[in-house]
Structure 1
């Protein structure tokens, strides 16, 4: 009998759940709509009901007991993995003791983490980062999330908020960021930044570039340069073995990776980027539940 854990990824439109074994096999997964409005009470109720359904699945009967739950949430989490500090895309979501509330509902131990951190854990476990002990991940989506893996362990800092890589300053006089910063990396390489600067969606710009459109080709060249400049600071500080790029924009990586690599090579001392790998994420929208499951396995079974 193999012990099992549940990995959960809470998003603004959908909540994904998966039942995983220690070998990384997902034996059952479900996706349910995020309740609207997505208040803590409503979200917890949906998760409780869906876990109840999963626990009754006949195909899990002979596999082993569920030993714990890991959850990825869209926002910062305390260092102990117990409290969801704030989630911008959810409603009335401040200082939510999510782990405690779900433990009361399910009788299972719970640990939570930022969703970008979970995505990085997933890629480090079963995805593009599985060969590396020191890596960083950026998710290029509506915003820009980040995560740091050092010596095989997720680094979150003494208060749990480390790894907000998308909020580093690229241009002190640049566009205002929701964080209160100006000219953050997010303001140059997120989906919102692409829309603001071009009036187009990234997919549209990718298709135009592949068709030879001059404007689109120049856009991706500049996009790659901005990403490379931002990564330069991170490389000097962390000297990772690999940088994993995920999120929706990563689908266009062939259009901007050459410019990104060229910018890194131009700005970074060879000793700091020796053998550095720049890779696209492999797990897609499953990275969150995979990483949340790994979070639970590490917390509750790898003691």
Structure 2
């Protein structure tokens, strides 16, 4: 990234919106805001989005960068990660945030802030940031700049985000994989079982829905397990076993070198990770894969989506690619 070029990255979901203002590989400013309602409307979503963007812009919409001959620079582009299926910079399948399909977010943001705007799936942008973070040289700081010499510790990385649902993405040979039609690797939507009038998907076993069927939230269950509850410790082991079976299927199918777990539920890593790893190895067919596949939490935590969206915006500015 040009040392003076400013980029904004946004991670927008149904609960909250986070954003970062970046120059080169440095985060200049962060902003985060909750929608504050259980059901998001168009008005509420846009209000939160604009509030975060306004907080990241320095009035007037420029910022003074340090250094000899420095001058105020405009924001060159905004990258936005959104849940669901993205095609031609529109949300065409919104998953748990249905209202997004009714909004032309790219046009609205572009018209309001007079800059380039690009959209992509939230997990795909998060994986973009995590892949760069995991592949950065040990002595480097921050996110590796594009255009510098590549250092590839992992050439194949699979990422899951665990929350209300499950998001997934696959990074291979320096690119986020998209499938033939651009929307592949929606892992949480895999159908696993059939009940009387509905089908059970992976999200019913490895996301918030798993705890909802027990009459509790993941956060409360985590707190009780950490406080010593035998029942809730068992719940988290069951959760880990379910996830381990799912990840064994991923390994047997595409054999990633590294599997990253992100999302809100990843906070309970110590409670489910041992069972997850044990079960995944048990059902992995390849002996080398059982020994060498790395399981890890997201390095960048809750900011990976926003940082990845900024990196996407950089790429779009440089190559003028269209998703």
User: Do they superpose with TM above 0.5?
Assistant: yes
User: Where has structure 1 moved over 6 Å in runs of 4 or more?
Assistant: none
Q: Distance in 2 between matches of 1:9 and 1:302?
A: 22
Deviation, 1:68, is 0.9
Point out where structure 1 has 5 or more consecutive residues left out of the alignment: none
Q: Which residue of 1 aligns with 2:143?
A: none
TM-score (norm 1): 0.84
- In the alignment, does 2:82 pair up with 1:94? no
Moved more, 284-293 or 156-165: 156-165
* Residues 136 and 57 of structure 1: CA distance in aligned 2, closer, same or farther (over 3 Å): farther
Q: Which residue of 2 aligns with 1:214?
A: 230
* Residues 93 and 228 of structure 1: CA distance in aligned 2, closer, same or farther (over 3 Å): same
Q: Which residue of 2 aligns with 1:60?
A: 63
Q: Is the Cα–Cα contact under 8 Å of residues 61 and 74 in structure 2 kept in the other structure? A: no
Residue correspondences, number: 293
Deviation, 1:244, is 0.7
Q: Which residue of 1 aligns with 2:208?
A: 191
* Residues 95 and 161 of structure 1: CA distance in aligned 2, closer, same or farther (over 3 Å): farther
Deviation, 1:226, is 0.9
Q: Is the Cα–Cα contact under 8 Å of residues 125 and 291 in structure 1 kept in the other structure? A: no
Deviation, 1:175, is 9.0
Point out where structure 2 has 5 or more consecutive residues left out of the alignment: 67-72, 137-152
Q: Distance in 2 between matches of 1:109 and 1:73?
A: 17
Q: Deviations over 1:3-23 (max 9, x none)?
A: 121101222233222111221
Residue aligned with 2:231, SS: helix
Q: Which residue of 1 aligns with 2:142?
A: none
Cα RMSD after superposing both structures: 2.9
Q: Distance in 2 between matches of 1:281 and 1:260?
A: 16
Q: Is the Cα–Cα contact under 8 Å of residues 18 and 289 in structure 1 kept in the other structure? A: yes
Mapping 1:62-211, distance limit 5 Å: 62=65, 64-78=73-87, 80=88, 82-90=89-97, 92-94=99-101, 96-126=103-133, 131-169=153-191, 171-173=192-194, 182-196=199-213, 198-211=214-227
Q: Distance in 1 between matches of 2:50 and 2:238?
A: 46
